[in-house]
Structure 1
Amino acid sequence: MSSRAAGKPREEEEKEEEGEDFYDCQEILEPPESRGEEKEKEEEEGESGDFKTDRLTDKTNVIEREGGGQEEAQDDRLQDDRLQEEAQDDRLQEDSDSEMKENQEVEFDDDYLREVEKELTEEEKESRQQQSLTLKEKGNCQFKAGDWLEAERSYKEALVLCPVCFSRERAVLFSNRAAARLHLGLKDQAISDCTRAIELNPDYVRALLRRAELYEQTEKLDEALEDYKKVLERDPNQTTARHACMRLPQQIQERNEKLKEEMMSKLKDLGNLVLRPFGLSTNNFQVNQDSDTGSYSINFIQNPNNNNR
């Protein structure tokens, strides 16, 4: 009996221990349904968090794009402003160039000046002529003082005022402005002024002499000689023109010889370049000039370096 009594409590104890172990595990483990709900909740929270993150990222990207777009728009506005400023500068320069060109054309365009002066009375023309004379005297004083630029401007203003009918006065103004431009180094413009003065007054010796000197300074020796001859025709005692007529023919001849030598040298180089592939050179061809007619004849020489054969 004692053994049974002792065994019974052990069984009960084992059952009690098993029951305790079961409930202990039940406290730790969760029911499947509860775990599933929790997992779904976590997934939903995760998806919600991801969605929020994506929204924040998208919002950040939008802000960045908007910021970048604003910077690009600002850069475009600055570029447009610069282009507008450059276009405005170009228009101002064109207007200035156009105005300068118009002024230059007006001085030489007698037809235009006559049209403008058509409505002027004789008294008004006389008044404009007197104003131009005053400007001419002002320019002469500036010229004597060595102020070539201001003198050139005064002569130009005088030309704008001086009526076309006063052709001799205008010729003097053109000649005087040519002298000022000569000192300013504007030789081509000075030649144009002299030419206009001679057109207005073909017997204007000073303008002819000035243009001849300008032609000589710009290496236009043939034109210079022609003008010097015209000066002598009108004033045989003009020593500068006489000396030039004695000096220039020799200079022209020397220049022509030099040009001919340079041309022949270039032709020889070109000929050697063409003949070299054939084993020949320009030395194989002898050029002789007939002293009577001035014409040339060409002879072929087989061995140019051996004159005895």
Structure 2
Amino acid sequence: MEGQWRQEGHATVVLAQAHFERGEYAEAEALYSAYIRQCACAAAGDANLGSKCSPEDLATAYNNRGQIKYLRVDFYEAMDDYTRAIEVRPSFEVPYYNRGLILYRLGYFDDALEDFKKVLDLNPGFHDATLSLKQTLLDKEEKQRRNIENNC
């Protein structure tokens, strides 16, 4: 029974991903949300979440739903989903990167730097994270320079 539930859940995430890739974001978001709710219900009814809900699929669902929210410019809601993905699967570098991009856009350079550094700790070959880390450092220095000039 648990194996079947897990297979059906994985199929939901795969279907959601297909909608996402076609730009059918409302359908993808609904499926990701349904899977997240199923996992929450499974966890509430059974202390052993891992046997009913794949951490990889759950983290992917949170991350990808966060991407949809990001595209809608719902940055804080997107960051909530990225954070949940990280909580479910701390070794998944993509939500750190995605959250770092939002933090950067919002001007929270120190927090963005932490996320980009974590990405590179987990995956040193993540080229976009390397570029984002460098750009964040440059922009942080520029902001500090402007603040010093404005205070003189």
Q: TM-score range by the shorter chain?
A: 0.7 to 0.9
How far the C-alpha of 1:237 sits from its partner, in A, is: 1.4
- Give the one of 26, 34, 40 matched to 1:149: 26
Quote the residue 2:94 is aligned against: 206
Gaps of 5+ in 2: 43-48
Report the TM-score when normalising by structure 1.
Answer: 0.42
Q: Distance in 2 between matches of 1:172 and 1:155?
A: 9
Q: Distance in 2 between matches of 1:169 and 1:146?
A: 20
How far the C-alpha of 1:149 sits from its partner, in A, is: 1.9
Quote the residue 2:46 is aligned against: none
How far the C-alpha of 1:138 sits from its partner, in A, is: 1.9
Name the count of aligned residue pairs: 141
Q: How does 1:142-221 map to 2 (within 5 A)?
A: 142-162=19-39, 163=42, 164-165=49-50, 166=53, 167-221=55-109
Quote the residue 1:224 is aligned against: 112
AA in 1 matched with 2:36: L
- Give the one of 139, 144, 147 matched to 1:251: 139
Report the TM-score when normalising by structure 2.
Answer: 0.82
Q: Distance in 2 between matches of 1:248 and 1:150?
A: 34
Quote the residue 2:45 is aligned against: none
Quote the residue 1:136 is aligned against: 13
Gaps of 5+ in 1: 1-122, 266-309
Q: Which has the higher contact order (CA 8 A, sep 6+)?
A: 2
AA in 2 matched with 1:148: Y
How far the C-alpha of 1:261 sits from its partner, in A, is: 4.6
Q: Distance in 2 between matches of 1:185 and 1:150?
A: 18
SS in 2 for 1:236: coil
Q: How does 1:52-201 map to 2 (within 5 A)?
A: 123=1, 125-162=2-39, 163=42, 164-165=49-50, 166=53, 167-201=55-89
How far the C-alpha of 1:260 sits from its partner, in A, is: 4.5
Indicate if the aligned counterparts of 1:182 and 1:190 stay in contact, CA closer than 8 A: yes
